[in-house]
Amino acid sequence: MIQLSTILLDKVFYSLILLLLLSSCDYSEFEIVETDGLAPVYINRDNLKVESESPRELGDLGKIVVIDSFLLVNELYKGIHVINNSNPGSPIGLVFWHISGNIDFTVTGDLLYADNSLDLYTIDISDIYNIQLLNTTENIYQTPQSEQYYPVGYLGYFECVDSEKGIVVDWEEKFLIDPKCRTTP
Amino acid sequence: MKYTIALLSLLFIWSCSDTVDDQNTTDVDGTTFPDVNALSGSYANMIAAEDYLYVISDTELISFRQQEDNSLAEIDRQLLGQDLESLHYRTGVLFIGSSQRMYICQLNSENIPVLQSRTLYTDFSDLRPCDPIVANDELAVVSLSSSTQVSEDGCGLTEVNEIRFYNINDLTSPQLVNTHSMTNPKGMALDNNLLFVCEKQAGLKVMNIADPMNPIELYHFEDIDKYDAIATGTTAIVVGTSEIYEFDYSDPTDIHRIWSVKI
């Protein structure tokens, strides 16, 4: 009887040890992370805007192109500022080309090529105050470019871009559960 | 690194070009290439040259031709590599930068890019610098940089902060001529031998690179966060995250800021 109880005690003892060890394990790879982060804001292709608007304040700036005496400066996800620089000492904002979700662009002659997370647009800029969408080229990238999108200048978790949800036009703060994407050090 | 030692041991002598850096459309045997009439920053992902549009995705170089019915016809698509980041066009030559390599493509008679060379920056796969490229007639200049704030701008953590000069007289075999330490070089603009380098928080540097073995720093405009620059021939437009500056460099002995806009 003494032997049996010793064996039992041993089992209990070792079980307790095991439990203690397990409880000190790092479970992080199994944990669901819950954290504040950013999530993409989408619009439907049907709600795409390509139009001239009155000039607006500079915000989060992206790429820049110079053509003739114009400076064209991208406003991340929003469109392109058109600045008249014919008098280099005093630039004048002329118009804002609102292009939903715009990140990259280039110009040649009277045509502006501009993209967003889904498509590439051919836009007539012969009248800068009344730009016209001429053509939409869809899905030109093998892997949707949107899947490479991340919030620029941000460090942390974010909700991965899902190209099926539409065009990314902004990032918003959101409480994330089990996010799969992050910008990493 | 064996690569660097081998190439640095070569010495080159060449003459400096005195001509203004305009966008020439002809190469040495008289073929004409499409002209660009817009100037792009060194982080461009798409460049239009007359009827042709060249776009890089993360892995591919895609060529389009504008059609008269307003559609864009895809005329070529090629897988180049991983992490393609920047595109630069000069006189029928496309320079593409990725986190590991500089790719050089020459347009053929149909204006479709044909790969000439891939130049590896480093043997270490964990170094992933961002790398805008600019070029003049003889040199391709690449800026390689780490992030000062861990991947804030998407550039990987590296130990490297430098600009590299490659002689490109033979596009199939760019020769590393010199590397020059910098603080945190980002976008660049090049007008003939005048090189503008945005050094992020370290400001804007203007250098004479007529002799790439001995780049001379002419100016250092400090305390501004500068990311990319375009040289127009007389002025340089410099862009930060929330500001734009313009510098007059028509007299290289007196480069000065003429305006700035801040948020």
The predicted-structure confidence for B176-217, as pLDDT tens digits, reads as follows 999 999 888 888 999 999 999 998 777 899 999 999 999 999
pLDDT tens string B11-38? 334 333 333 333 444 544 556 899 998 9
Q: How confident is the model at residue B105, as a pLDDT?
A: 98
- Whole-angstrom distance, CA of residue A159 vs CA of residue A156: 10
Q: How confident is the model at residue B16, as a pLDDT?
A: 31
How far away is chain B from the Cα of A65, in angstroms, using its nearest Cα? Answer: 5
Cβ under 8 Å to B: A residues 125-144: 134-135, 137, 140-143
Domain count, chain B: 1
User: ipTM, 2 decimals?
Assistant: 0.81
What do you get for the CA distance between the two ends of chain B, in Å? 44
Tell me whether residue B47 is in a domain: yes
Contacts of B135 (CB under 8 A, 6+ apart): B88, B90, B93, B95, B141, B168, B190
Tell me if A91 and B261 make a contact (CB, 8 A cut-off).
yes
Q: How many CB pairs under 8 A join A and B?
A: 135
For residue B20, what are its two tokens? 């203004």
Tell me whether residue B18 is in a domain: no
Return the number of other C-beta atoms located less than 10 Å from residue A53's C-beta. 13
Tell me whether residue B208 is in a domain: yes
Nearest chain B Cα to A106, which residue? B47
Q: How confident is the model at residue B125, as a pLDDT?
A: 52
β-bridge pairing A50-53 and A61-67: unpaired
Q: Say if residues A121 and A131 touch (Cβ distance below 8 Å).
A: no
> Looking at the partner chain, which of B38, B58, B234 has a beta carbon nearest the beta carbon of A106?
B38
How far away is chain B from the Cα of A133, in angstroms, using its nearest Cα? Answer: 10
- Whole-angstrom distance, CA of residue B247 vs CA of residue A150: 32
How far away is chain A from the Cα of B99, in angstroms, using its nearest Cα? Answer: 15
**DSSP per-residue string spanning B3-24:** HHHHHHT-----PPP-S-----
A73 touches chain B (CB under 8 A): yes
> Looking at the partner chain, which of B40, B41, B259 has a beta carbon nearest the beta carbon of A89?
B259
Tell me whether residue B126 is in a domain: yes
Tell me whether residue B19 is in a domain: no
What do you get for the CA distance between the two ends of chain A, in Å? 61
- Residue B104: CA atoms inside 13 Å, Cβ hemisphere, count? 25
Higher pLDDT residue, A143 or B175?
B175
Partners of B232 on chain A (C-beta within 8 Å) are 66
Residues in chain B, total: 263
- Whole-angstrom distance, CA of residue B24 vs CA of residue B137: 10
Q: Say if residues B233 and B223 touch (Cβ distance below 8 Å).
A: no
Contacts of B23 (CB under 8 A, 6+ apart): B35, B36, B37, B90, B91
Partners of B132 on chain A (C-beta within 8 Å) are none
Q: At B214, which CATH number?
A: 2.130.10.10
- Whole-angstrom distance, CA of residue B194 vs CA of residue B132: 16
What range defines the domain where residue B36 resides?
2-13+24-262
Tell me whether residue B155 is in a domain: yes
Tell me whether residue B81 is in a domain: yes
Tell me whether residue B252 is in a domain: yes
Chosen from A63, A82, A85 to mutate, greatest number of chain B CBs within 10 A = A63
pLDDT tens string A106-160? 999 899 999 988 899 999 999 999 999 999 998 776 555 555 677 777 888 999 9
Selection from B173, B138, B191 nearest residue B15 by Cα:
B138
Q: Would you report the helix, strand and coil content of chain A in percent, each value rounded to 5?
A: 15, 45, 40
Asked if the model's pLDDT at residue B136 lies above 70, the reply is yes
